[in-house]
């Protein structure tokens, strides 16, 4: 009896295990079948998407679109064509300017708007414009000369003065200042003197006293200038003190100016002065003038301001720029523009410099 019961129990256990195994195998088969069906469905969907993309590409090609290689080729051709067109436009512009009588230097300058072009010693210098500094905001049409050769401001900025003035020295000889005043001159810069470009000796202008007295008596406001040949700060201080002593008896309402230029020829004492040294010389002169209660100013041309001086170091000082063509070619802010060295006016025999003052910060 016991053996029979044990056999039945063993048989029942085996049967149960078989059933469980069958169930597990069935579940695995169902999962596998489900996964296979999912893969088949996904493949079918991908085939449909692929067919849709292919149809879209066929449609694009039929509408005239291009392959990547075709597009690259067309871009290359367009670039070459654009380069040739731009080159031809530049050549046409140069030819047009030269045929109209525009000088070579002026023509070349128009091609480099971000640089100051200096023609010097048979070569060109290209100096980048420092756009972090205060810039000249006038346009080419803001100024025009009247029938007397006097430059007038034609722009719309009511803050611009546009006043007429001259600067004189011994080279103008005796001046009838009453006639000068009647001609509309509102201010005059009188040369106090100069330092010899080779000797280094300071000399007072022989007409200084006559000119400053005559101008003031005629009701013309005056400023003064000194032609500098200083080679160091000590000489700059000497020049400033010379000027300040000379103007003590007079009412000087316009700036006290240091005239900084490169002399003609090769025998001049400042030829080896570096830009940093010249900037220091100018600062010494101007700071001394300012400390004495006057307004300092720098006179010069494009070479002065682009090559001889560091503009960033003298930005706070008023500028008097010499340029004898209209429009003005000077990128930075300025107060006075000397636009002619051959002006004619009643009261002065021969030629005299003409100036226009656009702003007066003194």
| 3-state SS string for 197-249 | CCCCCEEECCCHHHHHHHHHHCCCEEEEEEECCCCCHHHHHHHHHHHHHHHCC
Closest CA to 166 of 206, 239, 241, 218: 218
- pLDDT-derived band at 163 (thresholds 50, 70, 90) equals very high
Instruction: Give exposure, 160-177, as e/b (b: 16+ Cβ within 10 Å).
Output: bebbbbbbbbeebeebeb
Report the pLDDT value the prediction gives residue 55, as an integer from 0 to 100.
Answer: 58
Give the mean model confidence (pLDDT) for residues 25-29.
49
With 0-12 / 13-18 / 19 or more C-beta atoms within 10 angstroms meaning exposed / middle / buried, residue 258 is: buried
**Residue 4 pLDDT > 80:** no
Q: H/E element holding 151? A: strand 151-153
Mean predicted confidence (pLDDT) in 313-333: 97
14: tokens are 């085996």
CATH among 3.20.20.80, 3.20.20.140, 3.30.413.10, 3.30.559.10 for 135-357: 3.20.20.80
Q: Indicate the domain borders of the chain.
A: 135-357
Q: What is the pLDDT of residue 58?
A: 56
pLDDT tier for residue 264 given thresholds of 50, 70 and 90: confident
Question: What's the pLDDT tens digit per position in 187-231?
Answer: 999 999 999 999 999 999 999 999 999 999 999 999 999 999 999
CB-based contact 353:340 (threshold 8 Å): yes
332-338, long-range: CB < 8 A, 24+ apart: 332/133, 332/134, 332/135, 332/136, 332/305, 333/133, 333/134, 333/135, 333/136, 333/137, 334/136, 334/358, 335/255, 335/297, 335/359, 335/360, 335/361, 336/165, 336/297, 337/151, 338/167, 338/299
Between CA 243 and CA 231 the distance in angstroms is 17
DSSP track, 23-39: HHHHHHHHHHHHHHHHH
pTM of the model: 0.77
Residues 271-295: tens digit of each pLDDT? 999 999 999 999 999 999 999 999 9
Cis before 327? omega within 30: yes
DSSP letter assigned to residue 255: P
Torsional class of 293: left (φ above 0), alpha (ψ -120 to 50), beta (otherwise): left
């Amino acid at each position: 009896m016991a053996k029979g019961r044990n056999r039945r129990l063993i048989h029942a256990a085996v049967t149960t295990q078989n059933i469980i195994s069958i169930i597990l195998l069935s579940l695995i088969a169902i999962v596998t079948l489900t996964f296979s069906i999912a893969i088949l469905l996904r493949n079918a969907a991908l085939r449909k998407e692929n067919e849709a993309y292919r149809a879209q590409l066929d449609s694009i090609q039929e509408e005239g679109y291009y392959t990547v290689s075709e597009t690259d080729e067309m871009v290359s051709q367009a670039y070459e064509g654009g380069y040739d067109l731009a080159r031809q436009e530049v050549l046409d512009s140069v030819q047009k300017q030269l045929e109209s009588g525009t000088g070579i230097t002026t023509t070349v300058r128009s091609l480099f708007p971000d640089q100051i072009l200096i023609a010097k010693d048979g070569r060109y210098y290209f100096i980048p414009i420092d756009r972090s500094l205060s810039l000249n905001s006038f346009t080419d049409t803001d100024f025009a000369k009247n029938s007397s050769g006097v430059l007038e401001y034609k722009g719309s900025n009511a803050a611009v003065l546009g006043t007429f003035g001259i600067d004189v020295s011994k080279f103008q000889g005796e001046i009838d200042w009453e006639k000068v005043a009647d001609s509309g001159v509102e201010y005059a810069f009188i040369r106090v003197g100069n330092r010899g470009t080779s000797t280094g000796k300071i000399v007072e202008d022989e007409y200084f006293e006559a000119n400053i007295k005559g101008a003031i008596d005629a009701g013309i406001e005056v400023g003064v200038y000194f032609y500098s040949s200083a080679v160091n700060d000590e000489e700059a201080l000497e020049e400033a003190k010379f000027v300040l002593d000379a103007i003590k008896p007079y009412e000087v309402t316009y700036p006290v100016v240091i005239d900084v230029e490169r002399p003609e020829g090769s025998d001049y004492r400042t030829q080896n002065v570096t830009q940093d040294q010249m900037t220091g010389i100018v600062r010494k002169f101007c700071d001394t003038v300012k400390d004495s209660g006057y307004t300092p100013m720098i006179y010069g041309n494009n070479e002065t301001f682009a090559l001889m001086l560091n503009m960033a170091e003298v930005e706070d000082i008023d500028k008097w720029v010499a340029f004898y063509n209209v429009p003005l070619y000077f990128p930075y802010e300025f107060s006075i523009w000397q636009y002619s060295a051959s002006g004619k006016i009643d009261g002065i025999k021969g030629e005299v410099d003409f100036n226009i003052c656009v702003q007066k910060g003194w």
